[in-house]
Chains A and B, each alone.
Chain A
Amino acid sequence: MTRFMLGRALHSLVALLALVVLVFFLARLTGDPTNLFLPMDASLAERQAFAERHGFDEPLLVQFWSYLVDLAHLDFGMSLFQARPAIEPVLGAFPVTLRLALVTMVLALTLSVVIGSVAAYGPGGLFDRIASLLSILGASTPDFWIAIVGILFFSVSLGILPTSGTGTGWHWIMPVGVLLLRPLGLLTQVVRAAMIGVLNSAYVKTARAKGASPRRVIFVHGVRNAMLSVITVAGDQAAALINGAVIVETVFGWPGIGNLMINAIKQRDFAVLQASILVTALAIFVMNLLIDIAYSRLDPRIRAG
Chain B
Amino acid sequence: MATRLRLLRLLRSDAVALAAAACLVVVVLVALFGPMAVGDAAGGINLRNRNAPPFEFTRPWLYWLGSDSLGRSILARIVVAARTTLGIALASVAAALLVGGAVGLVAGLSRGRTGEYILRGVDVIMSFPSLLLALIVLYVLGPAPSNIVIVLGVTRLPVYVRTARAEVLEIRERAFVAAAQVMGAGPVHIALRHVLPLVLPTLLIIGALDFAYVMLAESALSFLGIGVQPPDITWGLMVAEGRAYLTAAWWLAFWPGLAIMMTALAANLLAMWFRIANDPSLRGSLKARVAGNG
Contact = CB atoms under 8 A, between A and B. Distances in A.
Nearest to B246: A152
B169 interface: no
B140 A262 contact: no
A262 B250 contact: no
Contacts of B253: 145, 148-149, 152
B57 interface: no
B265 A246 contact: no
B69 interface: no
A188 to B, nearest CB: 13
Nearest to A277: B132
Q: Is the interface of B mostly helix, strand, loop or mixed?
A: helix
B216 A284 contact: no
A15 B124 contact: yes
Interface stretch (A39-47, A106-114, A237-245): A237-245
A151 interface: yes
A103 interface: no
B265 A136 contact: yes
Nearest to A189: B272
Interface residues of B, number: 45
B247 A140 contact: no
B278 to A, nearest CB: 16
B129 interface: yes
A12 B127 contact: yes
A15 B120 contact: yes
Nearest to A288: B127
A153 B10 CA distance: 40
Nearest to B141: A29
Interface residues of A, dominant DSSP: helix
Contacts of B140: 26, 29-30
B246 A148 contact: yes
B261 A145 contact: yes
Interface in B7-36: 16
Nearest to A250: B224
Nearest to B213: A139
A156 B129 contact: no
A277 B129 CA distance: 10
B123 A11 contact: yes
B164 to A, nearest CB: 19
Residue from A11, A144, A156 with most neighbouring chain B CB atoms (10 Å): A144
Given A140-B261, A140-B268, A151 B246 contact: yes
Given A26-B136, A30-B139, A265-B136, A144 B219 contact: yes
Interface residues of A, number: 49
A15 B246 contact: no
Contact of A142 (B132, B136, B219): B219
A66 interface: no
A19 B272 CA distance: 34
A237 B240 CA distance: 25
Contact of A27 (B126, B136, B261, B285): B136
A247 to B, nearest CB: 6
A292 B253 CA distance: 42
A202 B247 CA distance: 58
Interface string B260-281: 1100110111001000000000
Contacts of A273: 136
Contacts of A16: 127
B129 A30 contact: no
A280 B129 CA distance: 9
B224 A139 contact: no
B129 A240 contact: yes
A68 interface: no
9 A-B pairs with least C-beta separation = A145-B257, A140-B264, A242-B129, A140-B265, A243-B131, A29-B140, A30-B139, A144-B223, A15-B124
Interface of B: 16, 120-121, 123-124, 126-132, 135-137, 139-140, 212-213, 216, 219-220, 223-224, 236, 239-240, 243, 246-247, 250, 253-254, 257-258, 260-261, 264-265, 267-269, 272, 285, 289
27 contacts: A12-B127, A124-B289, A136-B272, A139-B264, A142-B219, A142-B257, A144-B223, A144-B239, A148-B253, A148-B257, A152-B250, A156-B247, A156-B250, A242-B129, A242-B131, A242-B132, A243-B131, A247-B131, A247-B220, A250-B224, A265-B135, A265-B139, A273-B136, A280-B129, A280-B132, A281-B127, A288-B127
